[in-house]
Amino acid sequence: MLRKIRISIAAIFFICITLLFLDFTGTIHAWLGWMAKIQFLPAVLALNVGVIVLLVVLTLLFGRIYCSVICPLGVMQDLISWFGGKRKRNRFSYSAEKRWLRYGVLIVFVVLFVVGLNSIALLIAPYSAYGRIAQNLLAPIWGFGNNILAFIAERIDSYAFYSTEVWIRSWVTFAVAVATLGIVGYLAWRGGRTYCNTICPVGTVLGFLSRFSLLKPVIDTSKCIDCGLCAKKCKASCIDTKNHKIDYSRCVVCMDCLESCNKGAISYTMRKGSTTTQKSEEKVDNSRKNFLVGAGLLAASAAKAQEMKLDGGYATIVKKEPRAKFRTLTPAGSLSASNMAAHCTGCQLCVSVCPNNVLHPSPYLENFMQPAMSYEKGYCRPECTKCGEVCPTGAIKPISVIEKSSIQIGHAVWVKRNCIVISDDVDCGNCAEHCPTGAINMVLSDYKDKKSRKIPVINKERCIGCGACEHLCPSRPFSAIYVKSYKEHRTI
Amino acid sequence: MKAENKNNIDRREFIKRIGAGSMLTVAALSGCNVNKKGGSTLSDDEIPTDKMEYRTNPKTGDKVSLLGYGCMRWPTIEQDGKTVIDQEKVNSLVDYAIAHGVNFFDTAPVYVQGMSETATGIALQRHPRESYFLSTKMSNFSNASRENSIMMYENSFKNLQVDYFDYYLLHNIGGSVGDFNRRFIDNGMLDFLIEEREKGRIKNLGWSFHGSADVFDHILAYHEKVHWDFVLIQMNYSDWRNARGRNVNAEYLYTELEKRGIPALIMEPLLGGRLSNVPAHIEARLKMQEPDRSVASWSFRFNGSYPNILCMLSGMVYEEHLQDNILSFSPFTPLTDDEKEFLFETAELMLQYPTIPCNDCKYCMPCPYGLDIPAILLHYNRCVNEGNLSKSSQDENYRKARRAFLIGYDRAVEKERQAAYCTGCKQCNPHCPQRIDIPREMRRIDQYIENLKQGKEF
């Protein structure tokens, strides 16, 4: 019974959290956004004391049910492990705790945070690891499915579905997601919760607490016949049947053992259990990652009119290219690049919901996998504040549309040689036309000649860095106006 | 994308037809029977092959079908990333048209990205030369040198695989006297074409007109010297007295031609579909009067009621268009004066719908900055007609209309070809025969979209 309850609640959490990453319309966040906010590491980074206390109390009362129910990576492993178990039943066996490995990883994890190398540490953070898998591997499938529905809807003149652009925002992060799924999936397939009990820093912290939990599975030695079935069913490999002991630091209270015991010798109660003996550590499995940052820049000329005018057809649209220079443009609400770096877990939730295709995970080491903005596919539209609404860690604070209109995340810079007014000698002014704050004015390129073409000038005081000018600039592949970030965001 | 929209419209129209048909049966209005022609595809035996209306060219005695085939909108397909004409479909459309009595085909070197003449030529050379009348034009807009103009003229013979043209036009003149002089007087091309007519390579010489009345008069005054054999004008019941933009009322153009005994050819009888895809209550009004006939048939019958009209051109993309149009002419019944008056009232009512007078001719394309101008304007017009253009954010159906407008916009126009990317360079404007101020409309539509997207009160 207890196991069925655990499975049901876990399924609800898992599906809902996955939906958070799939729902590009951003509508279900209003209902389910809290599920991301009660994740342990995001709550710590957000300094969300309420949630931390709640999770600590939960663990002290019931053991690591966080790992069994709330953590999506944990549930994902259970799912994979369940499939693995179909091929080979009763495949687990007790193994001693690898304490030095667990605490070693935790210490390294904390140290990396302290020295500011969060992005490396985040590779093993459970919630954001799952987020990357969902965003990179599941969201495209979801998007394609939606587009099929949109295709059908279009044909029956319905506006129920609209198509969305499916694209991989960063191949490096995509590769990380594939690698994470590969490694964690393999470990889960083979040994159940190996990852949670050897590497996961959240598992280690909660494991430390769960030693002292009030309720826990306890073996009744008077009923136990030493059959060892419970240990074979224990995906955490924490039941030592010889000594009738359970390692509560690794137990994720999945209740599988309760149901597996034919004699009813294991019960989930308050009775005092015994702690385990510890054994020696194993080698640290340090996997290094190399990051390739490819900057393939295509030099192509802007679309120009045909020489001989024919009717119909389209001019080719040359893809916009980001400026080669490293960018640290972060969304309004994130306060500064350093605040982002310190608080973001790289879970990709904001990237999933960004409707304007502005946010993408950074490929650079300094803010690896954390959201960065660029305006090749769209710009940060004035009516949208979705990233702040969904962020569980407080890396992007929720702001109102009005607040957003006065937050300067950077300012526009004009590149004279790219501007078509200069290079093609035509009238333009699309940047000024679309500037939401009126920061761009068109002025005579030659003040003595009243008939000279007009060029944009930027009022830095009014510019908020939304990128409307950069994105809508006709100059391709490189825009003639681009947004340069501020280290600290400013308020007008 | 556009083609699909038209498909949808057809389907919708079909449903409405059925609706109107049954409604009228109940109402038992005089002279109406249940709509038999309601299906989107009619079986062949329902479309007569021998009832086509013909008009006689007073000069040559040509018996020209009143319905002419405009070759400006041939169906296209994507092949290896390029847009090409779907030749098989063109062949079958041409065959079908000829089999049902259509014998006039009109093309131009610039149509369908310059591919129309060749495709038309391939389709037509499968028929005896004397079984059809062929018309093409001198489209020397961008380079009006004598050399280039003559090259264009000779190329048309090659592309169309013929050794004479039945009708040859000075393409799209009337914008200004200066432009006319530049393209046909200064370079001696008009004299050249008169000589060619004497040689018999051109049977009838004329011109197509878009522009202002004074330039029309100016060019018409050449009649005494040149003897124009025909003039191609834009005419329909909407343009008769209510020509939009800088167009001249068709009533004036037609009357001036009739006075001089110059036969008129007609273009844009349906205004690029704007007179077949009309707002719902206009459609209901027309259907109520004539439930058996299509909305489009009204415009054809209106034009055909004027005796000095030799032929009217319609660019038919689908066989269903062709079938429906053939029905309007086989047999042809002219409008009564009461019916004409009824149409003029309809035209007045239509003026209340602020559609943009785009006929989807694509002369503005390609936009150097990649915009899909006609698709943007057509989407806007569609929303106007379907009641999805909100006058105010307080409108009762605002939310629904907003969703339909924005989602429909992304469907109709690729993201990076939308109005927001218009630089306002104005390179398109001189090409528009309807004299739409395209950059201004792009800004206006973009502003409207910004209001919708930002949820602004307006």
Quickly state the pLDDT bin for A311 (edges 50, 70, 90).
Answer: confident
Nearest CA in chain B to A382: B454
CA angle A463-A468-A469, nearest 5°?
75
Number of structural domains in chain B? 2
Tens-place pLDDT, residues A409-438: 999 999 999 999 999 999 999 999 999 999
Nearest CA distance, B120 vs chain A (angstrom): 16
> What's the gap in Å between the CA of A247 and the closest CA on chain B?
56
Last residue of a domain, one of A301, A321, A346: A301
CA torsion through residues A155, A160, A165, A170, sign: negative
The residue in chain A having the minimum alpha-carbon distance to the alpha carbon of residue B116 is: A311
Query: Residues B16, B42: one domain?
Result: no
The model's pLDDT over A129-179, given as tens digits with 9 standing for 90+, comes to 999 999 999 999 999 999 999 999 998 888 889 999 898 888 999 999 999
Q: What is the dihedral of CA B84, B85, B86, B89, to 10 degrees?
A: 180
The DSSP string of B265-302 is EEE-TTGGGTTTS--HHHHHHHHHH-TTS-HHHHHHHH
Give me the pLDDT at residue A114, please. 87
Q: What pLDDT, on a 0 to 100 scale, did the predictor assign at position A272?
A: 63
pLDDT of residue A385: 94
Q: How far is B295 from chain A (nearest CA, A)?
A: 21
Instruction: Say if residue B117 is in the same domain as residue B12.
Output: no
Inform me whether the pLDDT recorded for A273 exceeds 60: no
Contacts of B454 in chain A (CB under 8 A): 381-383
Domain that holds residue B445: 1-28+360-458
- Is residue B204 situated within a structural domain? yes
Q: Say what the pLDDT of residue B5 is.
A: 46
Last residue of a domain, one of A274, A301, A328: A301
Which candidate in B407, B413, B434 is best for mutational testing of the A interface (most A CBs within 10 A)?
A: B407
Taking residues A6-18, what's their average pLDDT? 95
Same domain, B274 and B389: no
Pairwise CA distance, residues A50 & A38, whole Å: 9
**A475 against B280, higher pLDDT:** A475
Q: What gap in Å lies between CA B375 and CA B2, rounded to an integer?
A: 7
What is the C-alpha R_g of chain B?
A: 22
Q: Which residue range(s) make up the domain with A157? A: 2-301
Looking at residue B21, its pLDDT comes to: 40
Residue B436 to residue A289: CA distance in whole angstroms = 59
The ipTM of this complex is 0.80
Nearest residue on chain A to B368, alpha-carbon basis: A305
Owner of token pair 């990576």? A73
Residues A271 and A353 in one domain: no
**CB-CB contact of B88 with B123 (8 Å):** no
Q: B447 to chain A: nearest residue by CA?
A: A434
Q: Which residues of B touch A472 (CB under 8 A)?
A: 420-421
**Contact between chains at A313 and B83 (C-beta distance less than 8 A):** yes
The residue ranges of DSSP E strands in B33-128, in sequence order, are: 54-56, 63-65, 67-70, 76-79, 82-85, 104-106
* Chain B residue numbers touching A316 (CB-CB < 8 A): 370
The average confidence (pLDDT) of chain A is: 87
Q: What is the pLDDT of residue B45?
A: 63
Copy the structure tokens of residue B187: 């370079």
Q: Is residue B53 part of a domain?
A: yes
- Tell me, yes or no, whether B355 lies in a domain: no
The answer to whether the CB atoms of B424 and A433 lie below 8 A apart is yes
In 3D space, the residue among B353, B350, B357, B351 whose CA is nearest the CA of residue B438 turns out to be B357
Mutate to test the interface with B, among A310, A437, A472 (most CBs of B within 10 A): A310
Taking CA atoms, A59 is separated from A52, A54, A63, A469, B172, in Å, by 11, 9, 4, 51, 82
Would you state the torsion angle of the CA atoms of residues B89, B92, B94, B98, taken in this order, to the nearest 10 degrees? -160
Residue A465 neighbours by CB distance under 10 Å: 29
Is the CB of B369 less than 8 angstroms away from the CB of A472? Answer: no
Beta strands in B71-159 (DSSP E): 76-79, 82-85, 104-106, 133-138
DSSP state letter for A336: B
- pLDDT digits 0-9 by tens, A208-217: 999 999 999 9
Total beta-carbon pairs less than 8 A apart between chain A and chain B: 102
Residues on chain B touching A163 (C-beta within 8 angstroms): 410-411
DSSP-assigned letters across all residues of A186-251? HHHHHHSSHHHHHT-HHHHHHHHHHTT-SSEEEE-TTT-----HHHHH-TT--EETTTTEE-TTT-
Q: Are residues B88 and B165 in the same domain?
A: yes
HSE (side-chain half, CA atoms, 13 Å) at B397: 11
For B417, the closest chain A residue by CA position comes to: A317
CATH of residue A458: 3.30.70.20
Average pLDDT over residues A70-98: 90
Stretch A451-471: mean pLDDT, rounded?
94
Q: What are the phi and psi torsion angles at B67 (to 5°)?
A: -95, 120
Query: B379 and B458: one domain?
Result: yes
Per the structure, the count of domains in chain A is 2
CATH number at residue B81: 3.20.20.100
Question: What residues of A are in contact with residue B427 (Cβ under 8 Å)?
Answer: 305, 426
Q: Which residue has the higher pLDDT, A286 or B178?
A: B178
pLDDT of A271 reads: 67
* pLDDT by position in tens, chain B (length 458): 444 444 444 444 444 444 444 443 333 333 333 333 444 445 556 888 889 999 999 999 999 999 999 999 999 998 888 889 999 999 999 999 999 999 999 999 999 999 999 999 999 999 999 999 999 999 998 889 999 999 999 999 999 999 999 999 999 999 899 999 999 999 999 999 999 999 999 999 999 999 999 999 999 999 999 999 999 999 999 999 888 777 899 999 999 999 999 999 999 999 988 898 888 889 999 999 888 889 999 999 999 999 999 999 999 999 999 999 999 999 999 999 999 999 999 999 988 888 898 988 888 999 999 999 999 999 999 999 888 998 888 888 899 999 999 999 999 999 999 999 999 999 999 889 888 999 999 999 999 999 999 988 88
Residue A264 predicted with pLDDT over 70: yes
